[in-house]
Structure 1
Amino acid sequence: MYIAITKQQLGMNYKGSVSDFVNYLKKENEDKSLELQEHFFDQYNDKVSPESVIAEIDGNTAKLSQKDPKFYSLVVSPSPRELKHINNNSEQLRKYVREIMKDYSDSFYRDQKVTVDDIKYYAKLEHERTYKGTDKKIQENQPYATKILQLKNEIRNIHQGTITGNIKKLEKEIAQLEKEAPHQQQGKRIVRGMRKEGYQTHIHIVVSRKDRTNSFSLSPGSKYKQSETVLNGKIVKQGFHREKFYKAAEKRFDIAFGYNRNFVESYKAKNMFIKDPKKFFATLVGLPSTEKQMAFKLLHKAGVNIPNIPTNKVQLAYNAFMKLKKGVGKAINSGSIGI
């Protein structure tokens, strides 16, 4: 499970409408019949119009300045293994979102307990992802893409008569490069904008910075988990505990769907990798055989080249450690192993 929380970002200010973001999220419904379209939903309603989402979020910004984000974006991305476990069931995912939003509200540190009914949010499922320039497969295919573009430019120049050359020979070189590119999908070189194979369902959640009554601020961007300040002579509690939220969301999935989470899929593993990489790898190689085999399989699927690592923790080779550390770091950062 990979969850990201980001604030509205429009240059240096935050005065813009949520409309651009909402319209972006509508893109997947284009050219789809009504029964196949995914709608915005909230805690109690399965269908909320995009116009209502815009009006509700934009109209819920009392006393926020241009320097304050008006809304936050949460992206909840189950791993392909998690999606397969629930058969990529959209209704199950909607129920899951409604449960983790209870955990989201419970992660705020306030004088009065924050409940899900205090939160103004709208969510939407998306089932497709496309390759971006930052994807590892695109980057590793790039030398081939660059050479192919050069050859196509040569062919164009030959047609225009600015240079001479053998077009058939150049086309043959292009065909060969297309086949040699290391990353292919359905027999074609993977390029930017190409849809990714397999289960890619994820959920976008737009959350208002203000509570549902437009009275007080609820910012998940707070740098404090728990903090107390004095305001008008009174002690005021503030803060948001992200780690508590991430752990709760993971636990929700496992309990709700009976999911047997492997060590490398866990938030605990991600945290351990960031804070103490050596402990992460020592724990990895010390796992029971069956779980360790699955962990290495998941890492391999994420594109991590697994070196030969001694099973004895003490004998963990430094060079192997460094190679694996680099690969796992990339996989964790991209969320490709479901962490």
Structure 2
Amino acid sequence: MPISKPHSTLGATNISSCVDLAMYLEKENNELDKALKNTSSIERVRAIENRKQFFFSHSKNNISTNEVISSIDKNIKKLGKTDAKYFAPTINFSQQELKHIIQSVDEKKEFTSVWELNNNEYDLFIDKIKEYTKLIMTNYAKNFNREDKGLKSGNDLVYFAKIEHFRKFKGTDDEVKKGEYRAGDLKPGINSHVHIIVSRKDVTQKLKLTPITKERSTTRTIGGNRYHVGFDRMKWINMNEKSFDDFFQYKRKDRERFMNQYILKNGSPREKEALLKEIETNEQTIKNTINYAKNHTRNSPKRRSW
């Protein structure tokens, strides 16, 4: 499933400016700029420039880093010095999901890197991930259960997202320990993912939104006013999984489903055994159905043509 994590930060503090995080997310463009210095081919220059990614919001593309920093840093009305000012969710896809997105761009080809996509294919690939990101941020807004306060979609948030395509090996990775790669080497394959910077306050600056709260869903009454707090992270992941399957028309296997993976990792031995048996039964049923369809089609008598 798409792993959607509502991180508080990505190594930086989130109680002050988002400048460090925003500048950190320029790292891939900075590496592409280095590559530009080492090429004299006009065609190659255009290809590299086309691969650069810029921030986007729910309604706008090609947003500068300065605008991101300014918008997030100004959206802090009534937040104290030690209050969180923003959060940094990430969207990470499985290899099966990335392959499916690629095939929705061109089902006739097998791609092992985004560099193999032509400009048109690359643009389509990017557009699909952007649209899916917007669905996730609408799910994010809805998951706070504050629709009565006007929080209904991603349009009611102040957020900026950026797509990245590369991941690097770390010293703790098994491949590095085995000597297959060095720390800092690019990981092979398609590794596209999304980084998001979202303000703690909504667009009206009236609501405080905290996705890392321990409260999943609570109704409180203060001064005679009832209001809802909480954020159910598991519900958000399930919503995002369904949005992915619907948007990309993805037929998800039982083993890929978030709740099944969660039980297989955290469930009791009895729960794991029962689930595995159910999954294996369903897989065998699907396999038998496919084989029957193939054999029935192959063995069906052909009609004579007179």
Category of TM-score, reference length = shorter chain: 0.7 to 0.9
Tell me how far apart the structure 2 counterparts of residues 138 and 266 of structure 1 sit (CA, whole Å): 30
Query: Deviations 1:244-296 (Å, cap 9, x if unpaired)?
Result: 2111100111111121212232111132134414223442244347837x9xx
For 1:170, the equivalent position in structure 2 comes to: none
1:121 to partner: Cα distance: 0.5
Residues 1-339 of structure 1 mapped to structure 2, 5 A cutoff: 1-8=2-9, 14-30=14-30, 31-32=32-33, 33-87=48-102, 89-110=125-146, 111-115=148-152, 116-139=154-177, 141=178, 181=179, 189-278=180-269, 279-288=271-280, 291=283
* Aligned-pair CA distance for 1:105: 0.8
Aligned residues of 2:8 and 2:14 also touching (Cα < 8 A)? no
Distance 1:229 1:68 in 2: 21
Higher Cα Rg: structure 1 or 2? 1
Q: What is the RMSD of the two structures over their aligned residues, measured on CA atoms?
A: 2.4
Percent of residue pairs bearing the same amino acid type = 30
Q: How many residues are treated as equivalent by the alignment? A: 246
Change beyond 3 A, Cα 1:195–1:277:
farther
Secondary structure of the structure 2 residue equivalent to 1:287: helix
Map Cα deviations across residues 26-61 of structure 1 (whole Å, 9 max, x no partner).
110123443221110011111111000000001111
Q: Distance in 2 between matches of 1:9 and 1:256?
A: 28
Residues 1:85 and 1:193: Cα distance change in structure 2 (over 3 Å): same
Q: State the alpha-carbon separation in 2 of the partners of residues 206 and 131 from structure 1.
A: 24
For structure 1, list consecutive stretches of 5 or more residues without a partner in the other structure.
Answer: 142-180, 182-188, 295-339
Aligned-partner Cα distance in 1 for 2:253–2:52: 33
Letter in 2 for 1:5: P
TM-score by length of 1: 0.67
Q: Where does the alignment leave 5 or more consecutive residues of structure 2 unmatched? A: 34-47, 103-113, 115-124, 287-306
Once residues 10 and 137 of structure 1 are traced to their aligned partners in structure 2, the CA distance between those partners, rounded to angstroms, is 24
User: C-alpha distance in 2, partners of 1:290/1:233?
Assistant: 52
> What is the CA distance between 1:221 and its match in structure 2?
1.6
